[in-house]
Amino acid sequence: MESLTRTQPAHNHTGSENYLERPYGVTRMQAPLVFPARSPNIGLISSGLILAAATALVVVVIRYLPPKSPLQWLPLALMLGFGAVVVSFAAILPTMKYLIDGSRLILRCGPFHWEITLADIHAIVERNLSWRPWSESWKLPGYALFKIEYGDVGQVRMCATRLTKKILVIKAGNELWGVTPADVEGFVEALRRSRGE
């Protein structure tokens, strides 16, 4: 009879194995390292200013449209829709953070998150970027999310509280990612340790 290298569970009357009593295979779950993004104050201020400007514009347009015009409420409806989007993004801005979890770097902002495999990272450089205004993405002064086209490096997937200044650019595979951790040195050091460097 072949000998077993592990002990059988005690008092196992059902024939199924009690995995809690295994003498091997126990792994300790480590909490991910969490690095908050830089302060989002500029992004919140710019969101507020945009909402105030949009509100003032709607008031002026409604004031000077002829009474009972079919277009009278169109600017208000557009402003409410735009305002809802701005408020939604401003609300999730303070939740932006970066997590190093095992072999993954996770970028998170509200309901949005992206994962980068640490082994795919080739380079990390802090630099200023040259922004193209016509790039499709969510961007405000102090807030950059999703893919943004930059004149000097091409497309960057952003999850940052800055649009162009002091962006930590991570090259992973064929993609560039832009982040703005509050503790840049600690974040980079943690990435290096997690990669075994």
Edge-to-edge order in the sheet of strand 33-36: 33-36, 97-101, 104-109, 112-117
**53 backbone dihedrals φ, ψ, rounded to 5°:** -65, -40
Asked whether the beta carbons of 98 and 37 are under 8 A apart, the reply is yes
More confident residue, 164 or 139: 164
Task: Flag whether the pTM goes above 0.75.
Answer: no
- In order of 38, 42, 49, 139, 142, the CA distances from 45 in angstroms are 14, 5, 6, 13, 9
Distance CA 74, CA 80 (A): 10
pLDDT tens digits, 85-137: 777 777 777 889 999 998 899 999 989 999 999 999 989 999 998 877 665 55
pLDDT for the residue 12:
45
Determine the average pLDDT of the residues in 149-155. 86
Residue whose structure tokens are 């309901």 = 111
